[in-house]
């Protein structure tokens, strides 16, 4: 009889927690959403001068989103060992190259990834192995990830340089043509 009471008690707690999450009260509700603002955060400088130049930030010095020389920033939160992040890699690399061929859009949108929990060595391997053409910022101690309420990866954010979030998506971006059109629209083109 005691085991049945314990089981009912545990099931009640689990059901209550599921209800809280369904109401948007659990931690996942705190991840960045359209219309909210990015938290104030210091980002590690990219490893290469080319990546620093692309973003318009100083080498070897932390930076903030407001330092990036672009109206919009596509931030891809990734895990270096995340299978879904690797699955998204080829299409998002193609999207980046497509945007670079669009003179107007390439001036208004910059890409960057934030590799949560990754060391510079892991990021260097990922960039080389996956042919990533845009900067991947390290977050080895999960500081940025925690400020973003620890979203699962990949988590994609389009934000203005002053931190207004215009678009988010958890998981793989399924249709890069639609996302390209979304970026053009958000950029006012």
Q: What is the CATH number of the domain that holds 105?
A: 3.40.30.10
- Do 17 and 40 fall into the same domain? no
Q: Are residues 87 and 166 in the same domain?
A: yes
Residues 18 and 99 in one domain: no
Domain co-membership, 78 together with 10: no
Count up the domains in the chain and report the number. 2
- The boundaries of the domain holding residue 84 are 31-186
Cβ 134 vs Cβ 113: under 8 Å: yes
Structure tokens at 52: 């620093």
Residues 130 and 47 in one domain: yes
Average pLDDT, the chain: 87
Integer Cα distance of 88 and 122 in angstroms? 18
Q: In this structure, are strands 155-160 and 136-139 parallel, antiparallel, or unpaired?
A: unpaired
Residue 66 sits in the same domain as residue 56: yes
Kindly report, residue by residue over 88-101, the tens digit of the pLDDT: 999 999 999 999 99
3-state secondary structure of 129: helix
Q: Residue with structure tokens 């945007």?
A: 99
For residues 2 and 76, state if they share a domain. no
The verdict on 16 and 109 lying in the same domain is no
pLDDT for 30 equals 77
For the chain, percent helix, then strand, then coil, each to nearest 5? Answer: 45, 20, 35
* pLDDT at residue number 85: 94
The per-residue pLDDT for 123 is 94
Are residues 102 and 75 part of one domain? yes
Distance CA 137, CA 115 (A): 6
| Per-residue model confidence as pLDDT tens digits over 5-29 | 654 555 445 444 444 333 333 444 5
pTM of model > 0.95: no
Which tens digits make up the pLDDT trace of 111-134? 999 999 999 999 999 999 999 999
147 plus 157 within the same structural domain: yes
Residue 57, SS3? coil
Q: How far is CA 26 from the centre of its chain?
A: 20
| Domain match, 14 and 43 both | no
137 burial level (CB within 10 Å; 0-12, 13-18, 19+): buried
Residues 100 and 158 both lie in one domain: yes
């Amino acid at each position: 009889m005691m085991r049945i009471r314990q089981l009912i008690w545990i099931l009640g707690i689990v059901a209550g927690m599921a209800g809280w999450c369904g109401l948007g009260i659990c931690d996942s509700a705190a991840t960045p959403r359209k219309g909210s603002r990015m938290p104030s955060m210091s980002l590690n400088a990219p490893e290469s001068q080319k990546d620093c130049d692309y973003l318009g930030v100083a080498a070897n010095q932390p930076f903030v989103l407001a330092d990036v020389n672009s109206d919009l920033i596509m931030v891809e939160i990734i895990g270096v060992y995340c299978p879904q992040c690797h699955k998204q890699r080829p299409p998002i690399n193609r999207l980046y190259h497509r945007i670079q061929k669009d003179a107007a859009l390439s001036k208004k949108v910059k890409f960057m990834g934030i590799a949560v929990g990754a060391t510079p060595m892991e990021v260097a391997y990922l960039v080389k192995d996956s042919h990533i053409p845009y900067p991947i910022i390290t977050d080895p101690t999960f500081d940025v990830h925690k400020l973003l309420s620890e979203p699962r990866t990949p988590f994609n954010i389009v934000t203005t340089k002053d931190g207004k979030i215009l678009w988010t998506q958890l998981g793989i971006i399924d249709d890069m043509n639609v996302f390209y059109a979304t970026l053009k629209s958000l950029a006012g083109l």
